Amino acid sequence: DIQMTQSPSSLSASVGDRVTITCRASQSIINYLNWYQQKPGKAPKLLIYPASSLQSGVPSRFSGSGSGTDFTLTISSLQPEDFATYYCQQSYSKPLTFGPGTKVDIK
């Protein structure tokens, strides 16, 4: 199985901050990396696939980059509704696996 790690595991930020979350795969996954946002009590929401395409309806302040083993999710200007947990997920090979998540909360 491909193992996914994320850093940091949590961060505190203010509205308007630029936020960067990193995801690393245990082997090359080309660009088969997706990002989700999850708020408490809700299902995950697809943000980015694969690696850099913005899902329809997702604000342009979200962007994804990377290839191979290292990937980044960037929120250019954090908004109040962005406080949530963010998960990366590899779709290169089965079983499909997730990172452990990064919780973004209010400073």
Partner 1 sequence: QVQLQESGPGLVKPSETLSLTCTVSGGSISSYYWNWIRQPPGKGLEWIGYIYYSGSTNYNPSLKSRVTISVDTSKNQFSLKLSSVTAADTAVYYCASGERWWDYWGQGTLVTVSS
**What is the binding site for partner 1 (CB under 8 A)?**
1, 32, 34, 42-46, 49-50, 55, 87, 89, 91, 94-101
C-beta closer to partner 1: residue 8 or 18: 8
In the complex, the smallest distance separating the C-beta of residue 66 from partner 1, rounded to whole angstroms, is 15
In the complex, the smallest distance separating the C-beta of residue 40 from partner 1, rounded to whole angstroms, is 10
SS (H, E, C) the chain: CCCEEEECCEEEECCCCCEEEEEEECCCCCCCEEEEEECCCCCCEEEEECCCEECCCCCCCEEEEEECCEEEEEECCCCHHHCEEEEEEECCCCCCEECCCEEEEEC
